[in-house]
């Protein structure tokens, strides 16, 4: 995530204003800018942490997507193997049925 910032904490804290006739109290302005700078630092830390968490989650998501694809392929392979075994099972049942009929014919005679 790219954020185009115009200021950083140091810019805010170090900002100097010129004093004009009936201007603001310089100490009040400095204290207020210090508070803003501190809040700005907290926000920068939060953004950094969120960016790290986002990267980690995206990485984990990609791993899970690859795992899903691998499992889909494995499932497809297992389904194909099952179909082959079922087909062989039907063939074996047919052979056993024929053999049983032949045995019954032989024993009945």
What pLDDT, on the 0 to 100 scale, is given for residue 72? 93
Q: What are the structure tokens assigned to 19, written together? A: 């004093």
For 17-43, what is the mean pLDDT? 84
User: Does residue 1 lie in a domain region?
Assistant: no
Question: CA-CA distance, 35 to 17, in Å (whole number)?
Answer: 16
Element (H, E) at 8: none
> What percent of the chain has a predicted confidence (pLDDT) above 90?
32
User: Does residue 67 lie in a domain region?
Assistant: yes
User: Does residue 90 lie in a domain region?
Assistant: yes
Count up the domains in the chain and report the number.
1
The residue range of the domain holding 43 is 9-108
User: Does residue 2 lie in a domain region?
Assistant: no
Model-wide pTM > 0.85: no
């Amino acid at each position: 995530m790219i954020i185009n910032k115009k200021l950083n904490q140091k810019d805010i804290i170090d900002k100097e204003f010129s004093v004009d006739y009936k201007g603001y109290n310089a100490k009040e302005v400095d204290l207020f800018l210090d508070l803003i700078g501190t809040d700005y630092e907290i926000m920068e830390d939060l953004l950094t942490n969120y960016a790290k968490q986002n990267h980690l989650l995206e990485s984990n998501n990609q791993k899970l997507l690859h795992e899903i694809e691998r499992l889909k392929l494995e499932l497809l392979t297992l389904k194909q193997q099952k179909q082959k075994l079922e087909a062989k099972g039907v063939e074996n049942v047919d052979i056993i049925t024929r053999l049983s009929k032949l045995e019954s014919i032989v024993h009945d005679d």
